[in-house]
Chains A and B, each alone.
Chain A
């Protein structure tokens, strides 16, 4: 006998064949982020790529925790769950296990996902459920009005750290890699094209995709990433990593990253000492390399790496769960409650 869920899915009409538009993914709710917030761009890019993914909106679920970013589900005309602080990852895990047919997205922030929800995050990543994590990193607590976050730079002066914070920041990409994530990427709120491409790749990945998005909080931490996003500075401060391509950067594409032992170093392509052939070539299937690249993050003598650090295949948790259930059914037969109740040592009283 099929379950109620299976019956509901059977009743679902086949896709109409008409490709939805970005607008179809916009809910009727007024967006209430501060004017100028980086979240607007992330929302717009997400809505823009949704039609390309081929998943109807009724099969898409956005789950969030608490924080500015976590209001996101209200603005998507999909199913949504705005839950409690830090737990979106765990709620989404249960949902995906119960319903592997759904496309499940987690929207979280640096506080929600790495501080109060840090534990669930690392366990989600090692389990590798087929869900997508969009982590909006603005290096500040916005909704509570400006305290330092687990990604704020050490020494940051905020309301709760008037003498400067003592915490050393997490490097989200390295944390994800250390948690055995199978897809780890970084993108920028002010680079819509890169963001769209990255989110699309994340959606296509089978397994947990972890996308860190640098997001400007123009009220409490304005300009935190301007060095990496603004015209004057970005070319010399960011290296875009792409699978199979050498790491070249700079306004004139005249600089590159070369490995000296295990350490990346910046070399000039102009002085004749090194050519493009000497540069580090990115391989997103190479776990060791992914750590080396992610580790460039807070090193001031190196450009900030942006792009897909790692994209590898590993068994997906809920598929394995489904497989075990099928295996048990094959081996022991479909469970029969009456038989179970009457199993074991029984006796009759006349």
Chain B
């Protein structure tokens, strides 16, 4: 037996790929949790088809999960992968181009029979014709080995086929020197009352590990040391889970019940699932009959004194549009969380995009200003949801909380916040009947009083018709309408006094400022860091608040010779920046349903700075 050696790596990107029924998302999630607990920094990219069980072996049925982890700070799921685990020919075909030259491919040879090859469009077997010579190819008959591991158990062949992903997981645990404990514990909890299934999965996992350990196919394993993250307690979290918890934390801090009105929609449904679990927190979740009932029930709940929220994706926002206008008019707190996906129309349900910014800014009839808060990373979704709730409650206004499919499904280690030191966002209801008017405004915020049904003496009527300032009576007078339109705009603008100033990462002036918003943060950050290491005069500014903008934004923009705005749309933030600050910004636009690779941004920066020192 050859001696096995261990090498140290700073960072690695692995992509698990197989049929959509092969359990690749589960495999990836298990590897991620184990890696997180080992203390690596990481970022993940689940990439799966909209079909739940697409026909086996087809190219469009391939489901992938990419994880980038390391001993250094990790900002993206990785531009290219170092290792590709391909469970069949189609998975190889779809993903091989994302593998670096010299990278490793671990294939399940059983997934390369004539039928598989035909479905994947391979005229001949790529494992046999030398076409993969640029890579390190490891051929393992995972299906057969899994079956052997389970042969003395009375288990259906269908189940055997389904558990082969754990064989692959076991191999990868060995290869990257990760303990199996986390997955073993998970299996015990998940299948505690199904001992047969638990036993079978455990066996397959260990068989994968043992195979890698004993066979001569693998003779190198790798160590990736823990990352030097800021001290504290961490957990891994997805964006959708973080949003849910952010809303719960906000409701708790404000001493209100949380009410979610929502309709299932990819990729936002996981927020509904998550919040539905916390009834013991008093969280009320309502799976409505449609998107409109989702938001209007939340408005009704807000009228009653709850923190009303609704979660959806772009097509759902389109349906909620009229109700958002109503919330603007009746001036009740509400948060609309848009987990953006590729559009227009049904578009690309499972793929990411950030093309709903202008919808959030302008997508209503009339002058209907709505504040917008955007999350930058999966864990940051917690803070974004909390901040959106804060603004909604303080200013009595509907607020957009923008995330996207990449953030919602992606995960990263999260420094668990101290609940007690989260900002105080307490609010109060109007109780005193004397001097009460429904549209009497707070001098600082211009918010109207929150007077909830059940309060004696404050009986009043609100609605979508224009209201007279202060009294709240229906009013169609020309000057009153103009006053109310302006008051609603000014209320939004005053939020700018109450949000942090924008900060530049890097030097406060120079050749190029890369301005971004939302889920592009990590890719921009990686690109800008590399440019800075090359000695280029490049800085980064990432916007949390998109309406209103931080007060110092213009001032910062004017200090740079060029502004680059990378967006996963055809140029939405850039339009707003150009019109508001009259800056000749340059766009970098991608609409492929995928996040930016940092190299794409780096290349654009190099192109702009060509010739500049």
Q: Do A and B come from one complex?
A: yes
Binding site for B on A (CB under 8 A): 1, 3-5, 8-9, 11-13, 27, 29, 56-61, 63, 66, 73-74, 76-84, 87, 90-99, 101-102, 119-120, 123, 321, 324-325, 327-329, 331-335, 337-338, 340-342, 344-350
Identify which of A66, A87, A327, A346 contacts B323 (C-beta below 8 A): A87
- Top 6 nearest A-B pairs (CB, nearest first) are A82-B463, A335-B281, A94-B300, A94-B297, A80-B461, A328-B279
Binding site for A on B (CB under 8 A): 33, 36-39, 182, 226, 229-236, 245, 248-249, 252, 254-257, 259, 261, 278-284, 286, 288-290, 292-293, 296-301, 303-306, 308, 322-323, 326, 330, 416-417, 419-420, 427-429, 431, 452-465, 473-474
How far apart sit A219 and B327, CA to CA, in the bound complex (Å)? 33
List, sorted by A's number, 7 A–B pairs whose CB atoms are closer than 8 Å.
A4-B305, A4-B427, A8-B454, A73-B461, A74-B461, A97-B301, A99-B305
Identify which of B261, B290, B304, B462 contacts A99 (C-beta below 8 A): B304
Asked whether, in the complex, the Cβ of A345 is within 8 Å of the Cβ of B300, the reply is no
Asked whether, in the complex, the Cβ of B474 is within 8 Å of the Cβ of A78, the reply is no
Chain A: minimal CB distance from B233 (Å): 5
How far apart sit A101 and B226, CA to CA, in the bound complex (Å)? 54
How far apart sit A349 and B182, CA to CA, in the bound complex (Å)? 18
A8: nearest residue on chain B (CB-CB)?
B429
Asked whether, in the complex, the Cβ of B463 is within 8 Å of the Cβ of A98, the reply is no
Whether A345 contacts B289 in the complex (CB less than 8 A), given A3-B257, A5-B305, A325-B280, comes out as no
Asked whether, in the complex, the Cβ of B454 is within 8 Å of the Cβ of A333, the reply is no
Asked whether, in the complex, the Cβ of A84 is within 8 Å of the Cβ of B256, the reply is no
Asked whether, in the complex, the Cβ of B454 is within 8 Å of the Cβ of A58, the reply is yes
> Which chain B residues lie closer than 8 Å to A8 at the CB level?
305, 429, 431, 452, 454-455
Identify which of B234, B284, B323, B416 contacts A98 (C-beta below 8 A): B284
B38: nearest residue on chain A (CB-CB)?
A347
Identify which of B235, B420, B428 contacts A344 (C-beta below 8 A): B235
How far apart sit A78 and B460, CA to CA, in the bound complex (Å)? 7
Asked whether, in the complex, the Cβ of B256 is within 8 Å of the Cβ of A5, the reply is yes
How far apart sit A92 and B286, CA to CA, in the bound complex (Å)? 13
> Which chain B residues lie closer than 8 Å to A93 at the CB level?
286, 293, 297, 300
> Which chain A residues lie closer than 8 Å to B473 at the CB level?
29
Identify which of B234, B284, B326 contacts A321 (C-beta below 8 A): B284
Whether A90 contacts B296 in the complex (CB less than 8 A), given A98-B306, A99-B304, A328-B280, comes out as yes
> Which chain B residues lie closer than 8 Å to A73 at the CB level?
461, 463
How far apart sit A214 and B316, CA to CA, in the bound complex (Å)? 36
Asked whether, in the complex, the Cβ of A332 is within 8 Å of the Cβ of B280, the reply is yes
Identify which of B431, B457, B460 contacts A80 (C-beta below 8 A): B460
Asked whether, in the complex, the Cβ of A325 is within 8 Å of the Cβ of B290, the reply is no
> Which chain B residues lie closer than 8 Å to A346 at the CB level?
233-235, 416
How far apart sit A178 and B528, CA to CA, in the bound complex (Å)? 62
Chain A: minimal CB distance from B410 (Å): 17
> Which chain A residues lie closer than 8 Å to B474 at the CB level?
29, 74
Asked whether, in the complex, the Cβ of B279 is within 8 Å of the Cβ of A325, the reply is yes
Asked whether, in the complex, the Cβ of A345 is within 8 Å of the Cβ of B303, the reply is no
> Which chain B residues lie closer than 8 Å to A57 at the CB level?
459
How far apart sit A61 and B464, CA to CA, in the bound complex (Å)? 16
Asked whether, in the complex, the Cβ of A98 is within 8 Å of the Cβ of B300, the reply is yes
How far apart sit A174 and B275, CA to CA, in the bound complex (Å)? 37
How far apart sit A285 and B403, CA to CA, in the bound complex (Å)? 50
> Which chain B residues lie closer than 8 Å to A334 at the CB level?
280-281
Chain B: minimal CB distance from A244 (Å): 36
Whether A4 contacts B289 in the complex (CB less than 8 A), given A80-B461, A99-B304, comes out as no
Asked whether, in the complex, the Cβ of B280 is within 8 Å of the Cβ of A91, the reply is no
